[in-house]
């Protein structure tokens, strides 16, 4: 009777286990919430709040960065940018975290996938990390294409290095890896070999490049989109993104979309 009964999200309180400042404005948070951790899939997200008063007003969406169903915890990798993330950055182990999740559709890894490329800029790697780990588990070869403003903002590079076939870096200032577009590296790879699926974080610029490469090299490609969200569960129709098939809710029909369906206005 309820259409989405099968995958109904939960609203529960979690417990902050740790909150670590990685560098600059980047933090990693571990939250204990077994009911959510057990259901979470790569590419999905939670709506989260650590505030009781009404400023900030809404919950904030964050991708699962790590999922540990055994210990009933999940991780979030986040960047401090505004009101909500400032409160998160100051929070301490033991604090309560109000959660709604898991939300959204998650990444699809088609059967018989031999290799994938992940393309991310900065914090965009957060959503892709569990996908990388899951792919590794399934024995899929991973090509990682990572970019950032500067070297020390190339997040999780050690971890990704250790489990990927190949990792390519670019930084805007050239402080690590090359300068320039990380998708040029991808193009070089595509010239040499077949990549089954490309996954890209929500960066408009990167996604457009992937779309262009896709037209040429014909691979499956998925993007994880971000839009401002009020509810996260599909009720408010606030988080839409333009697609070939009209406006789609990022929280409900997404956040993962086939790259070829997404339309960026310019």
Partner 1 sequence: MTKEVSLEVDLGPLHLKNPIMPASGTFDIRCTLLNQKELNRLGAILPKSIAFQEREGNPGPRICETDCGLLNAVGVPSKGVEYFIKEELPLLKKANNTIIVSLMGNSIPDFCNLAGYLNENKEISALEINLSCPNLNNGILFGVNQDKLYELIFNIKKNTSKPIIAKLSPNVSDIREMALTAKNAGAQIITVANTLMGMAIDVDKQVFRLGNTMGGLSGPAIRPIVVRMIWEIAQSVDIPIIGVGGVYCAENAIEMLLAGASAVQIGSANFFNPHVMLEVIEGIEKYLIKKKYNSIQDIIGLMKN
Task: List interacting residues with ligand FES (CB under 6 A).
Answer: 229-232, 234-239, 249, 251-252
CA distance 175 to 179: 8
- Cβ-based nearer residue to ligand FAD, 213 or 223: 223
- Cβ-based nearer residue to a copy of itself, 55 or 245: 55
Q: How far is CA 11 from CA 84, 172, 174, 231, in A?
A: 19, 40, 44, 12
- Cβ-based nearer residue to partner 1, 190 or 233: 233
Interface with ligand FAD in residues 28-87 (CB under 6 A):
45, 56, 58, 60-63, 65, 76-79, 81-85
Partner whose binding site includes residue 4, from ligand FES, partner 1, ligand FAD, none (CB under 5 to 8 Å by kind): partner 1
Partner whose binding site includes residue 78, from partner 1, ligand FAD, ligand FMN, none (CB under 5 to 8 Å by kind): ligand FAD
Listed in sequence order, the residues at least 6 apart from 108 whose beta carbon sits closer than 8 Å to its beta carbon are 222, 256
Q: Which residues bind ligand FMN (CB under 6 A)?
A: 230, 236, 238
Partner whose binding site includes residue 255, from partner 1, ligand FAD, ligand FES, none (CB under 5 to 8 Å by kind): ligand FAD
- Size of the residue set binding partner 1 (CB under 8 A): 37
Listed in sequence order, the residues at least 6 apart from 73 whose beta carbon sits closer than 8 Å to its beta carbon are 17, 30, 31, 32, 33, 34, 37
Interface with ligand FAD in residues 106-125 (CB under 6 A):
123
Q: How far is CA 163 from CA 7, 60, 147, 213, in A?
A: 31, 30, 18, 25
- Tokens 């996908």 belong to residue: 131
Of the candidates 233, 209, 232, the residue with the CA atom closest to the CA atom of residue 221: 209
Q: Which residues bind ligand FAD (CB under 6 A)?
A: 45, 56, 58, 60-63, 65, 76-79, 81-85, 123, 126-127, 226-229, 255
């Amino acid at each position: 009777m309820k259409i989405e009964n099968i995958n109904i999200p939960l609203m529960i309180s979690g417990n902050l286990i740790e909150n670590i400042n990685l560098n600059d404005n980047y933090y990693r948070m571990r939250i204990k919430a077994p009911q959510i951790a057990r259901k979470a899939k790569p590419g999905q997200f939670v709506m989260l709040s650590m505030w009781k008063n009404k400023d900030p007003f809404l919950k904030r969406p964050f991708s699962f960065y790590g999922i540990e169903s055994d210990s009933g915890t999940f991780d979030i990798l986040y960047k401090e940018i505004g009101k909500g993330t400032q409160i998160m950055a100051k929070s301490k182990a033991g604090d309560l975290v109000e959660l709604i999740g898991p939300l959204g559709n998650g990444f699809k890894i088609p059967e018989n996938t031999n290799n994938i490329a992940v393309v991310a800029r900065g914090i965009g790697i957060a959503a892709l990390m569990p996908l990388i780990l899951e792919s590794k588990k399934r024995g899929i070869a991973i090509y990682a294409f990572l970019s950032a403003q500067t070297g020390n903002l190339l997040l999780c590079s050690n971890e990704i290095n250790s489990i990927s076939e190949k990792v390519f870096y670019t930084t805007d200032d050239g402080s690590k890896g090359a300068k320039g577009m990380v998708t040029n590296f991808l193009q070089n790879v595509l010239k040499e070999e077949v990549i089954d699926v490309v996954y890209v974080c929500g960066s408009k610029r990167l996604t457009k490049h992937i779309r262009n490469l896709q037209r040429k090299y014909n691979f499956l490609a998925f993007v994880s989109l971000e839009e401002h969200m009020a509810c996260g569960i599909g009720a408010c129709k606030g988080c839409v993104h333009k697609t070939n098939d009209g406006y789609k809710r990022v929280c409900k029909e997404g956040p993962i979309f086939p790259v070829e369906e997404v339309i960026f206005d310019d």
